[in-house]
Amino acid sequence: MGAQPDGFAEDGARARRALVREIEAYGALRDPAWHAAFSAVPRHLFVPSYYVSGAAGYERLWSGDPDPARRARWLRGAYRDVPLATRVRDGELVTSSSQPSLMAQMLEALDVRDGHDVLEIGAGTGYNAALLSHRLGAEHVTTVDIDAEITDSARVHLAAAGHRPTVITGDGARGCPGRAPFDRIVATCTLPSVPYAWLAQCRPDALVLTPLSTGLLLLRVDDAGHAEGRFLATAAYFVALRGGNARFPRGRPMGLPRHIFEDDRFQFLRTLAEGTLDAREALALWQRERRPERERFGVTVSEGRQWAWLDDPTGPYAWPLPSD
């Protein structure tokens, strides 16, 4: 999976410009530095093959397909504003390239500054690390993934795009103490709670952005034992950190109306409070509090415990999150 043939460069550049316009229309890329990064980094170099789902299961599209029409379909798909399944094992999705507009939202929410050191949990294809490297310089970017095949391919993709951040094979829940301290930590995989190891590897006033439940939690770190923050407004669905045991309630409880069960905001609360509130209790709270949006929820990490809350970390609605 090396560098793509030169024949893709011109068509890829046109498709990339169209993608940037689409992300702008979505409301992201207001920061000129991130606009420049998405304009410069060729996504197709990071997805030389990916899978699309169909009636017969997953279909693989790839850059080396002998059929010109399928190659063109691959390239167009690489620049759609959608997540792309890049690695499937035994019918299960292992890793993907996230939706670019969501990536742009997350990167802007990180509020990085020149000189910041960033740790990414979940290397994926390497595309996000390339965007960070374009913005900050590769020497300030570290990306970690537990799967050696993923980190190996990410290194190849990054080199093809001209970026060489530090790519490490390891357990993302443990962070990367050898490269600490960090000013920002961003995860691209869902976790059930915030690993305490991350906070210990942060500089004071660092930010941690991680998927949790079906939302994006942005924490400000005071010190190794204390952090607090709220969820962003957007929904977010990521592959779970392997070994992280992310919680996703399955099945519609008996008697729960389908339109309620399928409501994205209710599912967020139900997942966040899983193990504390049953479906009926979650529904009663959700209706009583006027169907709260994600940004009304937050998480506090303090003195070896952590909890999610609605509106106020010391208020009446709080739910413990699992420990490491």
Catalytic residues, by residue number, are 98
Give 56-62's long-range contacts (Cβ < 8 A, gap of 24+).
57/91, 58/85, 58/88, 58/91
Greatest CA separation for the chain: 62
CA 147, CA 122: separation in Å to the nearest integer?
Answer: 9
The residue type at 31: D
**Identity of the residue numbered 221:** V
* Whether 28 contacts 108, CB under 8 Å: yes
- Determine the Cα–Cα distance for residues 266 and 260; give it in Å rounded to an integer: 7
Residues 6+ apart with CB under 8 A from 129: 120, 123, 141, 143, 154, 158, 163, 165, 167
Q: Which secondary-structure segment (H or E) carries 261? A: helix 258-261
Residue closest to 20 by CA, chosen among 85, 97, 100, 99 = 100
Asked if 253 and 202 count as a contact pair (C-beta separation under 8 A), the reply is no
